[in-house]
Each structure stands twice: as structure tokens, then as C-alpha cells.
């Protein structure tokens, strides 16, 4: 397989055409939709042109998945797992090249991209382990000589819609549990970052996945996404992305009563009590805010610090932020790279300017970098905002960038009230040495994920799902696996007698 490092210098070369073809029914084909320029965030240069799939190609991908799924489901799970582990091996073999491709199209630092590719392989390995332990139940019957079985069956065809912030890992996050449970998949990478998914299709082909089992097609959400989420032959739509897109998917899926699993936005509160380990809290807050340039759903979106340590925390946080290296994301020692696009950069800039115009103060940063490490990219200065109300717009709207508002609070009750304000409920953080406070935080903060005295990210064997506007269902672990299976109840009578299962009130 030909990947970037074999074809170009570190900065500015074109992406080979091999990464720009759609993968439908086991064949690489030119997209029949409009051409799309793929822009490198660090330089603003066009590094590839991808012809989107057409609606008809999207429908062909669904048909291919539907045709391939029954034979895949009929295989022993251990056979499915063997192919999944081969995919994992190939991802690890080509990890350096795949990581560089993530950097080129998405902009995250190389060391984070390497972690993303390792995560992609880990998803395949972890879910392959369920081959010998897919769940099922045997229950006693109300009658002698009878049992009640609750079996798991694959849902069928899965449409997986992937965001731009983790263009490689999230493909495997959706694909791995789908495959081990016997489903077929149509993957739509985000239109800004399609290259990683299309490159990984080569590995899926090399691993020997059956034709049509996994299809990877690219294009805009309002074109290709509409086809996938409205199709009657799609049995599950799993998507990570924004709340408006999630609502649109649910509306489309409702027409066919298609199941959905949505991991949507977040506005994580990072609560620091006065008894916390201050250095641990500061370093964790910095890590949680600035990983992937703040473009992660569980990022520290608002930092709440108890008043007695507020000034000390801000001072240490600013110093730690200023120590981070902003640089070319292909450099191995870079900590913060560019935003993914001009549109995203402008959005964050507008949010910061609005906050400043309403009385917030930028301790550091406050706008775009004046001397970026590379010309032409989408660079935003890491920004720390203070002196704003806890109910300011920037405290409620997802920033998704290298900007953190820090506000003081007096009591734990105040912190919980601020944390629960707004419509999001994905993640939250609590730093304290007091066990009672920890338990109350776990009980009272309205989120699907709580991190205690540590930063993220989440673990593959946990469960990543949000409350409120942050989504329905979710990913990872045994509970994420359940999303990809249906239940089938079987009443097995081996008594040789006729049974009539009367309801309890009729007995």
C-alpha cells in the first residue's frame, strides 16, 4: 500500500490518488459526485481532490452491505474475530504512515495522531475478544419441561457516520462492534477528512474482508448522509457529531423506525475543589482542554475553581499553557496544532470576541496567532478567559477549540448547579481529596461520564454515552456492543405436552 511518507516530504506534498477512491462492494471506484478539495489545516493548501460518491453509489453501498451481511452473520464469531485481528495487525504495520495522513488532513500533532492509530487497532482487538462471549440468556419457564432463551442477533446493515476530529479511530470504534456481532457496514467519513478512511479501506481489502461487508463512501451530510439515514435497508445509524445533525438523523430514521445511536456534543465542567491536589488539577485541566486543539467532545470546556484557590489555579494554568509548544503538527514535539478549517477557526474567533465584548478578559490569547509556525493555516492562540458570569454564552455553548473560560465558585452546591446548566450532558470532571464530595458529584452531576482526579480520554471497555442533548445509546464496552444486536426470545418446550402460557392474573 502506498501512503504519504513514501511519496512526499514532511510539509506540503500532495496526497497520492490511491487515497481518493470510494470503496463499494469490494471495488475501488471513482466517485461520481462533485469533486472536493481536501485542505491541510497547517498550511491551508489543497493536498488532494476527492470526487464525492453519488447518491446512487451510496445506495449501491447499502445494497452491497445487505447482500454480504447474511453470509457474514452465518460465520462462527471466532472466524469473524480472526479477520478483525488481521485488520488490527495491518493498522499497526502501517501506523506511521496512517498517523501522518491524519496529521495532514486533520491537523492534530503527530504524537496524538499516533495515539489515534493505536486506538483504531485497539478497537479491533478489543471487540474481537467478544467472539467467545457474545451474551445470551437461558431463563426458567413457568412450565415444567420448557426453557426461555433470549438470544442476540445482528441488526443487519449499519450506517456509520464519522466526524472530522478522529477520522481513523472512530471508524474502527463503530466498525469493530458491528463486525463481531455479524453486521455489515457502510461508513461515511466526514467530507473534510475522508483520506484516512479511504486509506484504511486498502487494509480492509488486504485483510480479506468479504466483498460488500464494509463500504467506505464520502460526501456531504446533506447528500450522502441523507441517503444513508433515510434508507429502508439500513437497520442502525450510528453517528458521532453535532446536536443539529443528530436531530436530523433521528428525524430521517423515524420514517423507517430505524434504530439510532448518537454521541453528540459536550460542555464538560472541570470542577476543582479547594482541597484538590493543585498541580494534578492544573496539569489535567491543561491536558483536557488542549488535546487535539480543544476539538474533542469530552474536553474541559469550562473550568470551575473554588474561590480560595482560584487565583493560584489561574496563575499555574496560564504558566502551564504558555509552556505548551505550538508548532508544525508533523513535528514530534508539537503540543498544539491548528484548527481543522477556516470555518471552525472563524467560529471560535467569533465566540471569543463576543465574550470579550460582554466583559470577559483574556489573560492570554484572545484571537488568531500573529506569528503562526506555518503560513496559511488555521491557527488560534490558546486562550484563557476570566471575569465572566457563570451563565455567559461561552459557558453554555460548545467551543470546540483552544479556549477555556475559568470561573470561581463558593460552595460545592454552586459548582453542581453551574455544571448542570445548559443542554449538554456528556462528561464532567471533579478534583478533590474528599470522598463524600466525590460521591455526591457522581450522584448529582447530570452527565453520562464522570472523571475523578484524572483527565480523559475514555477507555475502550467503559461506556461512552451522553445524557440530555449529548445523545442516545453510545459506544464502547459491553454496553456499546449491545447497540449492534437485537434480542430474539425463544420458548422451547421439550415436555411433549401442550402448554398454554396464561398471564399470572388468569391463574
- The pLDDT tens digits for 246-262 are 999 999 999 999 999 99
| Spacing of C-alpha 178 from chain mean position | 16
- pLDDT at position 14 is 74
Peptide bond into 11 cis (omega under 30): no
Pairing of strands 300-306, 268-272: parallel
* Class of residue 35 by CB neighbours under 10 A (exposed 0-12, middle 13-18, buried 19+): exposed
**For residue 249, what is the DSSP state?**
H
**Apex CA 352: angle with CA 351 and CA 356, to 5°?**
120
What DSSP string runs through 440-467? HHHHHS-SSEEEESS-----TTS-B--E
For 425-460, what is each residue's pLDDT tens digit?
Answer: 999 999 999 999 999 999 999 999 999 999 999 999
Per-residue pLDDT at 502 exceeds 70: no
Q: Are 265 and 243 in contact (CB under 8 A)?
A: yes
What are phi and psi for residue 82, nearest 5 degrees?
-60, -45
List the domain boundaries for the chain: 16-264+470-488, 268-452
In 3D, which of 430, 351, 429 has the Cα closest to residue 392?
A: 351
| Spacing of C-alpha 87 from chain mean position | 20
CA distance 219 to 221: 7
Alpha helices in 299-404, H assignment, sequence order: 310-322, 342-357
Pairing of strands 27-29, 22-24: antiparallel
Q: Are 164 and 196 in contact (CB under 8 A)?
A: no
Mean pLDDT of 297-304: 97
Mean per-residue pLDDT of the chain: 95
Percent of the chain with pLDDT over 90: 94
Active site residue 297: yes
Per-residue pLDDT at 8 exceeds 60: no
From 40, 105, 112, 263, active-site residue: 263
For 195-215, what is each residue's pLDDT tens digit?
Answer: 999 999 999 999 999 999 999
CA distance 369 to 338: 10
- pLDDT at position 95 is 98
Look up the CATH number of domain 16-264+470-488: 3.40.605.10
Q: Are 321 and 283 in contact (CB under 8 A)?
A: no
Residues counted in the chain: 507
CA distance 291 to 105: 17
Residue with cell 453510545: 474
User: What sign for the dihedral angle of Cα 409, 415, 421, 426?
Assistant: positive
Residue with cell 501506523: 95
- pLDDT at position 15 is 75
Active site residue 172: no
- pLDDT at position 19 is 74
Q: Which CATH superfamily is domain 268-452 in?
A: Aldehyde Dehydrogenase; Chain A, domain 2 (3.40.309.10)
Half-sphere exposure of 469 (CA within 13 A, CB side): 18
**To the nearest 10°, the Cα dihedral for 177, 182, 183, 187?**
50
More confident residue, 82 or 498: 82
Per-residue pLDDT at 408 exceeds 90: yes
* Class of residue 506 by CB neighbours under 10 A (exposed 0-12, middle 13-18, buried 19+): exposed
Per-residue pLDDT at 317 exceeds 90: yes
* Class of residue 357 by CB neighbours under 10 A (exposed 0-12, middle 13-18, buried 19+): exposed
* Class of residue 14 by CB neighbours under 10 A (exposed 0-12, middle 13-18, buried 19+): middle
For 380-393, what is each residue's pLDDT tens digit?
Answer: 999 999 999 999 99
Q: Given this chain, do its domains 16-264+470-488 and 268-452 carry the same CATH topology?
A: no
What are phi and psi for residue 115, nearest 5 degrees?
-65, -35
- pLDDT at position 498 is 84
**For residue 11, what is the DSSP state?**
T
Mean pLDDT of 31-36: 96
From 172, 297, 299, 345, active-site residue: 297
Q: Are 441 and 430 in contact (CB under 8 A)?
A: yes
Tell me the angle at which helices 278-290 and 310-322 cross, rounded to the nearest 10 degrees.
Answer: 50
Number of H-type helices and E-type strands within the chain: 14, 22
CA distance 471 to 475: 11
User: What sign for the dihedral angle of Cα 468, 474, 475, 478?
Assistant: positive
Beta-carbon neighbour count of residue 367 at 10 Å? 14
Strand (E) or helix (H) holding 281: helix 278-290
Percent of the chain with pLDDT over 70: 95
Strand (E) or helix (H) holding 82: helix 77-93
Amino acid at each position: 500500500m502506498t501512503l504519504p511518507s513514501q511519496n512526499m516530504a514532511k510539509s506540503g506534498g500532495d496526497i497520492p490518488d490511491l487515497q481518493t477512491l470510494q470503496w463499494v462492494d469490494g471495488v475501488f471506484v471513482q466517485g461520481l459526485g462533485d469533486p472536493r478539495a481536501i485542505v491541510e489545516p497547517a498550511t491551508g493548501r489543497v493536498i488532494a481532490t476527492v470526487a464525492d460518491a453519488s447518491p446512487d453509489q451510496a445506495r449501491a453501498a447499502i445494497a452491497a452491505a445487505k447482500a454480504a451481511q447474511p453470509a457474514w452473520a452465518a460465520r462462527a464469531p471466532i472466524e469473524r474475530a480472526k479477520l478483525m485481528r488481521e485488520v488490527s495487525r495491518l493498522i499497526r504495520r502501517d501506523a506511521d504512515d496512517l498517523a501522518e495522513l491524519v496529521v495532514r488532513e486533520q491537523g492534530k500533532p503527530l504524537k496524538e495522531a499516533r495515539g489515534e492509530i493505536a486506538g483504531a487497532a485497539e478497537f479491533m482487538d478489543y471487540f474481537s475478544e467478544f467472539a467467545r462471549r457474545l451474551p445470551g440468556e437461558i431463563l426458567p419457564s413457568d412450565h415444567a419441561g420448557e426453557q426461555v432463551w433470549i438470544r442476540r442477533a445482528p441488526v443487519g446493515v449499519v450506517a456509520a457516520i464519522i466526524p472530522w476530529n478522529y477520522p481513523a479511530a472512530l471508524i474502527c470504534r463503530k466498525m469493530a462492534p458491528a463486525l463481531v456481532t455479524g453486521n455489515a457496514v457502510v461508513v461515511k467519513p466526514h467530507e473534510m477528512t475522508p483520506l484516512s478512511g479511504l486509506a484504511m479501506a486498502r487494509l480492509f481489502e488486504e485483510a480479506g474482508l468479504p466483498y460488500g461487508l464494509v463500504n467506505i463512501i464520502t460526501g456531504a451530510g446533506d447528500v450522502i448522509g441523507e441517503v444513508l439515514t433515510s434508507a429502508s435497508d439500513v437497520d442502525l445509524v450510528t453517528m458521532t457529531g453535532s446536536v443539529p445533525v443528530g436531530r436530523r438523523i433521528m428525524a430521517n430514521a423515524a420514517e423507517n423506525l430505524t434504530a439510532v445511536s448518537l454521541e453528540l456534543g459536550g460542555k464538560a465542567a472541570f470542577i476543582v475543589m479547594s482541597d484538590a491536589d493543585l498541580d494534578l488539577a492544573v496539569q489535567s485541566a491543561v491536558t483536557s482542554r488542549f488535546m487535539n486543539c480543544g476539538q474533542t467532545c469530552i474536553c474541559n470546556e469550562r473550568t470551575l475553581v473554588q474561590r480560595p484557590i482560584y487565583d493560584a489555579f489561574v496563575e499555574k494554568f496560564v504558566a502551564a499553557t504558555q509552556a505548551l509548544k505550538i508548532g508544525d503538527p508533523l513535528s514530534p514535539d508539537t503540543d498544539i496544532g491548528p484548527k481543522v478549517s477556516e470555518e471552525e477557526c472563524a467560529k471560535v474567533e467569533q465566540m471569543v470576541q463576543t465574550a470579550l465584548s460582554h466583559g470577559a478578559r483574556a489573560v492570554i490569547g484572545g484571537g488568531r496567532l500573529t506569528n503562526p509556525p506555518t503560513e496559511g493555516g488555521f491557527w488560534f492562540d490558546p486562550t484563557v478567559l476570566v471575569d465572566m458570569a457563570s451563565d455567559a454564552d461561552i459557558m453554555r455553548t460548545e467551543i470546540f477549540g483552544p479556549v477555556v473560560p475559568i470561573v470561581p465558585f463558593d460552595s460545592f452546591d454552586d459548582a453542581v448547579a453551574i455544571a448542570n446548566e445548559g443542554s449538554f450532558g456528556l462528561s464532567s470532571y471533579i478534583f478533590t481529596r474528599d470522598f463524600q464530595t466525590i460521591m455526591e458529584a457522581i450522584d448529582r452531576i447530570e452527565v453520562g461520564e464522570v472523571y475523578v482526579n484524572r483527565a480523559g480520554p475514555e477507555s475502550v471497555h467503559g461506556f461512552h454515552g451522553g445524557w440530555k442533548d449529548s445523545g442516545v445509546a453510545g459506544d464502547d464496552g459491553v454496553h456499546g456492543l449491545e447497540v449492534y444486536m437485537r434480542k430474539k426470545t425463544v420458548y422451547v418446550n421439550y415436555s411433549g405436552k401442550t402448554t398454554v402460557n396464561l398471564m399470572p392474573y388468569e391463574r
